[in-house]
């Protein structure tokens, strides 16, 4: 029986790919070639938050903001399920970028240009376009645009209409598990993702997270049974500890799996550590 293959749309795979700044740079450049980005750096959240739950009762979060050489900010996310509340989700991501990047003592005049970018494994708008861009426009005069310096880009992996760069088309082929695209970016991404699938420690983490999420769905814990969710989180920590995974990676994996902030995941980890050392919860 063939092993299950975890692709670019998997939360952990996408997270590992985007941990590397060189990947962030090349992916942003193929989405926004007109910006002529030459360098980026990842800024870890100074104040990790547990995002508001929307219609599907699941939180969302990002673990890093990308900053380019012109002090523009980006949040790039993978969206697999076409769930209700996408517009509210986008709105909240944008608010968090502004809160995380506005320096102490600055006011709204100092807000930098920002982009929220979603790779979608579905058509988010139902127009079969490969790329959707949104800004603030006046309802009766589409030529009048409010200069908020904020941008929303939704990339549709299933789309067939509209012009995108060949390299971005290659990324979408990777999302769709098409392995015949010989674009250098597609070849590089497939090689990296294949490597994560072969790596024994990373594969154990992928399988463990998948199993825990399946258990949650089967038991209905994602519907609000807080005590059960706590038990799942603590059980996952013990499982990853048994595999020898370092604390930082365990906290990151838990945050991704449970869709919680790094701070909340860290609290779960400390709860387990205290219990294991003989303390009380």
Extract long-range pairs of 190-198: CB within 8 Å, 24+ residues apart. Answer: 192/17, 192/23, 193/6, 193/7, 193/8, 193/13, 193/17, 196/6, 196/13, 196/16, 197/3, 197/5, 197/6
pLDDT at residue 62 in the model: 53
Cα 56 off chain centre by: 17
pTM value is 0.73
pLDDT confidence of residue 221:
45
User: Which pLDDT score, from 0 to 100, does residue 55 have?
Assistant: 32
Q: Do residues 272 and 238 touch, judged by C-beta distance below 8 A? A: yes
Q: Where are the alpha helices (DSSP H) in 79-199?
A: 86-101, 166-175, 184-198
Residue 67's pLDDT is 95
The reported pLDDT for the residue numbered 243 is 67
- The pLDDT of residue 229: 57
Give the pairing of strands 137-138 and 73-79: unpaired
Q: Give the list of residues 6+ apart from residue 233 with CB closer than 8 angstroms, or none.
A: 254, 258, 265, 268
Give residue 45's region: left, alpha or beta (phi > 0; psi -120 to 50): beta
User: pLDDT tens track of the chain, all 281 residues?
Assistant: 678 899 999 988 999 999 999 999 999 999 999 999 999 999 875 444 333 333 333 334 455 799 999 999 999 999 988 878 888 888 888 988 888 888 878 888 889 999 999 999 999 999 999 999 999 999 999 899 999 999 999 999 999 999 999 999 999 999 999 999 999 999 999 999 999 999 998 998 888 877 776 666 565 544 444 445 566 677 778 777 776 778 888 887 787 776 677 888 888 888 888 777 765 44
Cα(243)–Cα(204) distance, rounded to whole angstroms? 8
Burial 137-151 (b: 16+ CB within 10 A, else e): eeeeeeeeeeeeebb
Q: Measure the CA–CA gap between 110 and 23, rounded to whole angstroms.
A: 28
Distance CA 202, CA 199 (A): 5
Residues 219 and 211: their CA atoms lie apart, in Å, by 12
DSSP code string of 179-244? -----HHHHHHHHHHHHHHH-HHHHHHHHHHHHHHHHHHHHTGGGT-HHHHHHHHHHHHHHHHHTT
- The answer to whether the beta carbons of residues 53 and 41 sit under 8 Å apart is no
Rg (CA), the chain: 20
* Distance (Å, whole) CA 94 – CA 112: 12
Q: What is the pLDDT of residue 60?
A: 41
The answer to whether the Cα torsion of 124, 260, 246, 210 is positive or negative is negative
- Token pair for 169: 């088309």
């Amino acid at each position: 029986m063939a092993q299950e293959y975890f692709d670019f749309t998997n939360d952990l795979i996408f997270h590992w790919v985007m941990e590397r700044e060189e990947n962030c740079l090349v992916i942003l450049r193929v989405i926004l070639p007109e910006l002529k980005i030459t360098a980026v750096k990842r800024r870890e959240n100074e104040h990790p938050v547990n995002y508001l739950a929307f219609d599907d009762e699941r939180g969302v979060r990002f673990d890093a903001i990308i900053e380019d050489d012109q002090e523009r900010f980006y949040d790039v996310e993978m969206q697999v399920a076409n769930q209700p509340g996408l517009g509210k989700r986008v709105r909240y991501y944008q608010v968090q970028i502004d809160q995380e990047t506005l320096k102490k003592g600055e006011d709204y005049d100092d807000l930098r240009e920002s982009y929220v970018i979603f790779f979608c494994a579905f058509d988010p708008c139902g127009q079969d376009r490969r790329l959707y861009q949104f800004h603030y426009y006046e309802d009766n005069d589409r030529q009048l645009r409010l200069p908020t310096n904020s941008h929303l880009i939704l990339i549709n992996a299933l789309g067939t209409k509209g012009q995108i760069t060949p390299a971005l088309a290659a990324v979408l082929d990777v999302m769709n598990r098409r392995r015949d695209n010989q674009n250098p970016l597609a070849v590089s991404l497939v090689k990296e993702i294949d490597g994560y699938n072969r790596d024994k420690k990373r594969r154990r983490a992928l399988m463990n997270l998948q199993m825990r999420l399946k258990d949650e769905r089967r038991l209905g814990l994602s519907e609000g049974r807080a005590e059960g969710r706590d038990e799942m989180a603590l059980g996952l920590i013990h499982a990853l500890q048994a595999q020898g995974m370092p604390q930082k990676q365990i906290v990151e994996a838990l945050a991704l799996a449970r869709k919680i902030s790094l701070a909340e995941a860290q609290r779960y980890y400390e709860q387990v550590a205290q219990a294991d050392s003989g303390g009380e919860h």
